[in-house]
Amino acid sequence: MRVTGTEHSVVISGGGPTGLMLAGELALAGVDVAIVERRATQELTGSRAGGLHARTIEVLDQRGIAERFLSQGQVAQIVGFAWIPLDISDFPTRHPHGLALWQKHIERILAGWIAELPVSVYRGREVTGFTQDDAGVVVELSDGQSLRADYLVGCDGGRSRVRKAAGIDFPGWEPTISNLIAEVEVAQEPIWGTRRDAIGIHGFSRLENGGPVRVMVTEQHLGRTGEPTLRELSEALIAVYGTDYGVHSPTSLSRFTDMARQAASYRKGRVLLAGDAAHVHYPVGGQGLNIGVQDAVNLGWKLAQVVKGTSPDSLLDTYHAERWPIAARVLRDTMAQVALLRRADDHAKAALDTLSELLRMNEPRKRFAGLMSGLDIRYELGEGHPLLGRRMPDLELVTANGPLRVYRLLHEARPVLLNLGEPASLDITPWADRVQRIDARHTGTWELPVLGAVTAPTAVLIRPDGYVAWVGVSTDAGLADALATWFGPPAAA
């Protein structure tokens, strides 16, 4: 990584998973991008997000880096709703599973990836404010420096300074429960595993490398703010277990609640939000990190095209239009899970037993598993073929140069027109400098998660984020309009 000058096309505030993924997307598109990160190193302490869902693994596969994560984590059926496991092993995807991998490892691998790309990183500094005008944004840093950029993206967490400075409202729901999570030494052997009682959810688990233990405990009372103390952790453990097991020497200690909030807008002028800066919720279901990474992949190619002058500024409005409903649904479903899990009496058990029975049925299982894994996401891109607005299946193709997977075509984050009809039958000459055209053959059925088999098209236009922007069935009707909408006006003859 390098640090150059004070002018960049895009400045990203925050070097967590969302900021790192966005930086990689922009760098692949040839955009001068810089990350401002308050940590002096990428090292992350503590136990935060613990895994990747199937759609996120697909996204990483589309960039050719999925194996870096798969080799470091544990493949598992981690998708579930209110602790009810949902099997996705029969879903039509190359990755019908989740991946257990702590956020510190996810960040380390992403940081290694962007180290291979032309990304500038300003460490040990924070964005403290900014001013924007029609020409760009001046970003103020905590060390007194300022950076000039065309756009600023806040990936700086739930307390986002960028969001607050932009004056973007963050409406939602106040917390009803509060948890402490820590990595500590213990003087006595604790009761291992997770339990749920009238107070909430608690548990002890071993770290993968031995040494300290990971503990989570629900606090009896709401209202405490700021950084928690070891004494508060001890008090919470005694209230649940009757002892604190002699906890000491914490290497990390933090508090989180079920507060649920979402930015009223993901964009204000030249300032955009992604990840936790745009939406926060309780971690049950493990979707927060995943939808943040997917925010970045939706935004990256659009922002790159606007910065490079390929597409008009209005293309950025589709980012909010597409991603806001996804997070709104996650907030709703997370709140529903909290409502089911926060009580441990017979009434709550009856409700969970009834829901578990329902989710053992095939259709409800598929619907909720598609929801929680992200494999059912559909952007509202119009009516027509079921593929429109959905993730492109990773088909095995036959081309003039041999066999080829669809996701291999997306490694450089470029759009693809996949022609499965007569070779060279689709003319995209005015967009040839922006869109790859691949003539190929595919035999077999086309199947989508939750929906099942769909009619095989003769051509599809695939956006850089892997979603289908146009579907042709023995016709090119609407192709030119789709190309212009997503990838800019046609080049002059």
The conformation of residue 485, written as its DSSP 8-state character, comes to H
Per-domain residue ranges for the chain? 7-171+261-373, 178-257, 396-487
Q: What is the mean pLDDT of residues 308-318?
A: 97
| CATH pick for 7-171+261-373 out of 3.40.50.10680, 3.40.50.970, 3.50.50.60, 3.30.70.2860 | 3.50.50.60
Sign of the dihedral through C-alpha 153, 65, 450, 281: negative
Residue 242's identity, in one-letter code, is G
pLDDT (tens digit per residue) in 253-275? 999 999 999 999 999 999 999 99
| Residue 91: pLDDT over 80 | yes
Sequence-distant (≥ 6) Cβ neighbours of residue 205 within 8 angstroms: 192, 193, 194, 213, 214, 215
With beta carbons less than 8 A apart as the criterion, state whether 12 and 119 touch: no
Domains 178-257 and 396-487 share a fold: no
Distance CA 30, CA 475 (A): 33
Distance CA 360, CA 138 (A): 54
The topology under which CATH files domain 396-487 is Glutaredoxin (3.40.30)
pLDDT (tens digit per residue) in 202-212? 999 987 666 78
In this structure, whether the domain defined by 178-257 belongs to CATH 2.60.40.10 is answered with no
| Residue 387: pLDDT over 70 | yes
pLDDT (tens digit per residue) in 399-422? 998 999 999 999 999 999 999 988
Average predicted confidence (pLDDT) for the chain: 93
Position 5 scores a pLDDT of 44
Position 48 scores a pLDDT of 67
pTM confidence score? 0.94
Distance CA 493, CA 491 (A): 6
Position 61 scores a pLDDT of 98
Q: What is the mean pLDDT of residues 243-255?
A: 93
Looking up tokens 């009810």 gives 84
Q: What is the mean pLDDT of residues 428-455?
A: 94
pLDDT (tens digit per residue) in 154-171? 999 999 999 999 999 999
